[in-house]
Structure 1
Amino acid sequence: MSETVIRTGDGTFAMVNVFEVEPDKQQELAEVLTESADKFIRHRPGCISVNILTSLDGTRVTYFAQWQRKSDIKATMSDPDVQVGRDKAAKLAKPDPHAYTVFSVHHPES
């Protein structure tokens, strides 16, 4: 898996899935997503990186994955092994997945 780099114009796609979760289930959800990413998703063709983010208030988990092509996302989501992890996650929290491109990136001046 490559390092996560966010930039415009590189032709990559991002899959962002923000899960609304009960605080007592945040850790379990993050572990389910991490296990699925480690065992299956990061090995799929076109995967650049997978990142699991947990909100400080415990109410959200964000799944951020970068892909070379939009078709790689679609193929991965149809993989039965990936669907098992997706279904486990959906039992713990409400998912809201969408595919994105990077519109702009801003950094502080050096």
Structure 2
Amino acid sequence: MSSPTTTITVDADLVTLVNVFTVDPARQAELVNALDEATRRIFVAVPGFISANLHASLDGTRVINYAQWASERHHQEALRRADVREHLTEATAIAEKWDPTLVRVRSIHHPQRQSV
């Protein structure tokens, strides 16, 4: 059985939440664990949720959540849920600050393949 993957394409009619959390390096793992647990426990069952990818900066000061949603409406409806609001309260209490932004993929680039 293959693992699920996140597909990034300009053709998808979806929105992406890019949330950059700034965190004390001593608490980075705690924040990653809180976001990971909430995603497994809450978000995977929320209508419109497609995927989430957590990234931890090498210097320990940031955690980035790259989460795909079926639509802006689905994301907004998720934010009205009590379980989601509770998770956000917990996660933001660990972080020093956070910057959630909804975006659409507009351009993708890959290295050119060399001819043999």
- TM-score normalized by structure 1? 0.94
Which of 102, 106, 109 pairs up with 1:103? 106
Q: In structure 2, what is the equivalent of residue 48 of structure 1?
A: 50
* Stretches of structure 2 lacking an aligned partner (at least 5 in a row): none
* Stretches of structure 1 lacking an aligned partner (at least 5 in a row): none
Deviation at 1:87, TM superposition (A): 0.5
Contact preservation (8 Å) 1:2, 1:49: no
CA–CA distance in 2 between the matches of 1:95 and 1:31? 16
Q: In structure 1, what is the equivalent of residue 17 of structure 2?
A: 15
Deviation at 1:84, TM superposition (A): 1.1
Contact preservation (8 Å) 1:15, 1:66: yes
CA–CA distance in 2 between the matches of 1:57 and 1:68? 32
Identity of aligned residues (%): 36
Ranges of 4+ aligned residues in structure 1 off by more than 2 Å: none
The one-character-per-residue Cα deviations of 1:75-101 (angstroms, maximum 9, x if unpaired) are 111111111111111111111101000
Contact preservation (8 Å) 1:3, 1:48: no
For the pair shown, the structure with the greater C-alpha radius of gyration is 2
CA–CA distance in 2 between the matches of 1:58 and 1:82? 25
Contact preservation (8 Å) 1:2, 1:48: no
Q: CA RMSD in A?
A: 1.3
- TM-score normalized by structure 2? 0.90
